Amino acid sequence: MPAATRLAFNEDRVASYESVRARKASKPEEVPNPHADRPFLLTHCPTCDRLQPHDHTCQE
């Protein structure tokens, strides 16, 4: 591969890498999950015979 071609190839790679870094840096910060400390638990409700959230109250 000629030196000029190799140089152009490397410059393209560097430009691509820098654009990825810039895009990642401009991403908004992730919003923390307010429910992360409360896992979503499903339990079996014998009244309606279905899996329901753990704080489910049957209306039947």
Domain range for 44: 3-53
In a domain, residue 8? The reply is: yes
pLDDT tens, position by position, 46-59: 888 888 887 778 77
Please report whether residue 59 resides in a domain.
no
Express each pLDDT in 3-26 by its tens digit: 777 777 888 888 888 888 888 777
Sign of CA dihedral 46, 51, 55, 60: negative
Question: Does residue 16 sit within a domain?
Answer: yes
What does pTM read for this prediction?
0.34
Q: Give the C-alpha separation, 10 to 16, whole Å.
A: 10
- Residue 44: pLDDT band (50, 70, 90) is confident
Domain tally, the chain: 1
Asked if residue 58 belongs to a domain, the reply is no
Question: Is 60 domain-assigned?
Answer: no
**What distances in angstroms separate CA 51 from CA 27, 38, 39, 40, 57, one per listed residue?**
38, 18, 15, 12, 12
All residues at 6 or more sequence positions from 46 whose CB lies less than 8 Å from its CB, including other chains: none
In a domain, 29, yes or no: yes
